[in-house]
Amino acid sequence: MGKVQLVLGVPNEKQKLFLSAKAKHIGFGGARGGGKSWIVQNKAERLCVNYKGIKCLIVRRTYPELMNNHIMPLQDKLPRSVARYNKTEKLFKFFNGSTIKFGYCNNDKDLDQYQ
C-alpha cells in the first residue's frame, strides 16, 4: 500500500505538544471540551499508519463513551483499506498489523485487564 494520508485538522498548542511527544507512554488531561478525545484519536491513527505492528490503547470510563467518542467516528473516517474494526476484540486492525484497542476503566479493579 502507498503512503496513507490522514485528514487531521488544526491542533491547538497543547495538542501540538502531544502530537510531537516521543515518549512510550503519553497522557493528555484537562477540562471538558479541551480536545482530549480528538487529539488522542488522531495521535493513535498517525502512529498506527506510520509504524508497523504498533499497539495503541484508548481508555474511557465506559464502553458507550468509547463508541460515541472514538469507535463510531473512526469507523466513519478510516477507509476499510486502511483499518477495519473488530467488534468482538474491540479494536481497529490496520493494514500493516498495527492496532488501536479500546478499553474501559471505571474503577481500580478494571486496571487488572490491562496488565
Confidence grade of residue 68 (pLDDT, cut at 50, 70, 90): very high
Q: What is the average pLDDT across 71-99?
A: 95
The predicted structure's pLDDT at residue 10: 83
The predicted structure's pLDDT at residue 94: 97
Strand partners, 99: 55, 93
Is this model's pTM higher than 0.75 or not? yes
The predicted structure's pLDDT at residue 88: 95
Residues 6+ apart with CB under 8 A from 53: 96, 97, 98
The predicted structure's pLDDT at residue 7: 62
Cα gap 69→43, rounded to integer Å = 15
pLDDT, tens digit, 9 for 90 and up, residues 3-46? 666 666 788 888 888 888 888 887 778 788 778 888 889 889 98
- Mean of the per-residue pLDDT values of the chain: 86
In total, the chain counts a number of residues equal to 115
